[in-house]
Amino acid sequence: MSAKKRVGIIGAGIVGTALAYYLSEYPDMEVTVFDKGSIGSGTTAKSAGTVCLFDDSVSHEFWPVRLHGFQTYTAMEREEPGSAGFQKTGTLVVATDQGVEDFVKKGIQNAIAAGYTGEYWTDGDKIHKIIPDLTLEGVLGAGYTADDGYFDATMISNTYANKARAKGAKVMIFTEVTGVTTKGGRVTGVETNKGPFKFDVVVDASGPWARQTGRLTGIELPIWHTKAEVFILEPQPKLGYLFPVLKYPRFYARLEHEDIFICKAHLTMNLSDPQHAGIWNPDDLPLRGGAEEYFLNFLFDQLEQYYPRLLSSGKKNDWVGYRAETPDFLPILGDSPVEGYLLNVGFGGNGVIEAPSAGVDMAKYIATGEKSALIERLAFKRFETLGHNPFEA
């Protein structure tokens, strides 16, 4: 047995590459990452990459995770401009009900305490200074910060992969893991289309493929898919102002060059609605297209109500991504029922935000055996009594 701990990671999306980097910082780790495609080519490539300081994507319980994600990527960008693809557009979070208003106000307090700016406005003129053509009927107010924006999640994955390689990790692209080998109930390695590899620990970071990957060890992971339909709209005429990340409770939008990236909000998804959720094969997703009629109707309704200006846009591009969801919409970190097979999966609509904290904590667990509060909180065992059909969950 080699003196170093040999760790194999399945998946070189933002979650797998972040883990590879943090593991490679421990001198006694020998790290290999496999991806059947290229780096960051899965869900990560379809992502909006927003890491906002106080939208409602991540509950306040996970504020340190969100803050750590934001600070990690902005530090990456400072160290090497472009390496995280940061676009500092700010964010406007619109509250249409009391719950969101309370959430945003608390989020602003957190952001200010961490040294960022943030204000909550009920004055329509202030909101219109940021986005002049929003309809404010039915809007209670909006939170605004100029400090955040969005990142390029594939760029970040490549940066993490390069940093991990510089510290000795191997990143094997176009290498599919086809089997996980075990002896006496313990993981011993993986089989791939490029041959077998021996490992002491294998980590599943395969995003929406995690159900299939888990089955390689005989585990049925409670991971479903929700559809994330994206439209790239070309406003006509052009906007003529810096469009911030715009968050409504039911949809969000951000700049994409001079166009608008628009998507249904993650938390509007219902795992028991077959239009939203199911167990699908991510390999069947086309690179472009695939949005269904229910999404178009939803989007037109929302735009008509809140931002009619965009209804006259041209459609430049569209695609569908699958978010890997668990029944409580939180990831699964740490041990699985198979010894030596660890989980870093189920990041749903927040994998960009959460990858750095998950990576740091998982690396520490693998290297030292020490479980963080986050790993305890997000352990697989919270689902052990669940059925595996989403419509029973």
Which residues of this chain interact with ligand FAD, rule CB under 6 A?
10-16, 34-37, 41-44, 46-50, 153, 176-177, 205-209, 213, 228, 230, 263, 321, 323, 347-353
CA distance 86 to 245: 12
Nearer to ligand FAD, 128 or 257 (CB): 257
Question: Structure tokens of 55?
Answer: 């939208």
**Least distance from ligand FAD to the Cβ atom of residue 355, Å:** 7
Nearer to ligand FAD, 295 or 307 (CB): 295
Q: Which residues pair with 150 in a beta bridge?
A: 50, 87
CA distance 52 to 147: 9
CA distance 158 to 45: 11
Nearer to ligand FAD, 47 or 96 (CB): 47
**Least distance from ligand FAD to the Cβ atom of residue 173, Å:** 9
**Least distance from ligand FAD to the Cβ atom of residue 124, Å:** 27
For residue 50, what are the contacts with CB-CB under 8 A and spacing of at least 6?
57, 91, 149, 150, 151, 245, 252, 254, 352
**Alpha-carbon distances, residue 22 vs 114, 212, 280 (angstroms):** 24, 26, 31
**Least distance from ligand FAD to the Cβ atom of residue 155, Å:** 12
- Span between the terminal Cα atoms of the chain, in Å: 42
Nearer to ligand FAD, 215 or 377 (CB): 215
Nearer to ligand FAD, 9 or 134 (CB): 9
**Least distance from ligand FAD to the Cβ atom of residue 247, Å:** 10
Residue 137, exposed/middle/buried by CB under 10 A (0-12, 13-18, 19+)? exposed
Nearer to ligand FAD, 121 or 181 (CB): 181
**Least distance from ligand FAD to the Cβ atom of residue 233, Å:** 14
Nearer to ligand FAD, 240 or 278 (CB): 278
Tokens 């959460």, residue located: 354
How many residues are given for the chain?
A: 393
**Least distance from ligand FAD to the Cβ atom of residue 27, Å:** 25
Considering all CA atoms of the chain, what is the largest pairwise distance in Å, rounded to the nearest integer?
68
